[in-house]
Amino acid sequence: MRGELDFRRYSPASHVETYDVVVALEPYLFGRAGERLTTLPGLGTFDVSFVADYNIQPARRVTVDATGAPFLTQWLQVGGTGQYTRFFEPVDSYYSLDAFARVYLPLSTRVLPFADGFVGEQSFGVPGETRGSHGARAGIRTYLVRRVALDASMEWRTYLPPGNSSFAVRQLHVTLNTQLGRAR
């Protein structure tokens, strides 16, 4: 577990200052840096990530991001991700939830191509109004050390806002994942 207090001052002309308190689960807690992965994860292993961020100034808000994704086999993983943000002044909150299924091409323990599909629901601060979304990702996973995976992927997401119109978003994601479960 890691905690930090950050202070940032943006350009002198704006005099905007921010203060953040961050709590995170650090992936390198689970092995020595030289410890390499010898077999791919399977049933009994799952990816986890967790970050909590409290912004003190200029806008007081708390944000929590979490992911949990068990492996069903060496090539199949299912899971969910969520994010919750709460602003205190004005009182407002947002959330995002996704469920996904990911397929890996288990070629080696160094580089694993993957693709996944997902469905989600997001709120954008309007009480009682949510938006559905769906899409796909394609990317690669590499293991930096045992139990620490680095994913880089391109995401294609379509939001289905209330009414008949939809809009698409493209995003590049790079994430670190800690793996818990059966020792490998």
> Alpha helices, DSSP H only, in the chain?
none
- Whether residue 115 is contained in a domain is answered as yes
Residue 38 lies in a domain: no
pLDDT tens-digit map of 3-23 = 566 666 555 555 555 656 665
Mean pLDDT over residues 153-171, rounded?
80
What is the rounded CA–CA span in Å between residue 132 and residue 104? 26
- Residue 36 inside a domain? The answer is no
- Give residue for tokens 């690669």: 140
Evaluate whether residue 34 is within a structural domain.
no
**Taking the CA of residue 130 as centre, how many other CA atoms within 13 Å lie in the half-sphere pointing to its CB?**
10
**Using CA of residue 24, residue 25, residue 27, residue 28, what is the dihedral sign?**
positive
| Mean pLDDT within 53-64 | 76
Banded pLDDT at 184 (limits 50, 70, 90): very low
Report pLDDT digits (tens) over 113-125.
Answer: 999 999 998 886 6
Neighbours of 103 (CB within 10 A): 14
Whether 109 contacts 37, CB under 8 Å: yes
The mean pLDDT of the chain is 77
What confidence score (pLDDT) does residue 37 get? 59
CATH number of the domain within which 6 lies: 2.40.160.20
Amino acid identity at 140: I
- What's the number of domains the chain is made of? 1
Residue 33 lies in a domain: no
Q: Is the pLDDT reported for residue 173 higher than 80?
A: yes
Does residue 71 lie within any of the structural domains? yes
Q: How confident is the model at residue 104 (pLDDT cuts 50, 70, 90)?
A: very high
pLDDT band at 169 (very low <50, low <70, confident <90, very high): confident
Range of the domain at 144: 2-27+43-181
Better-predicted residue by pLDDT, 130 or 128 = 130
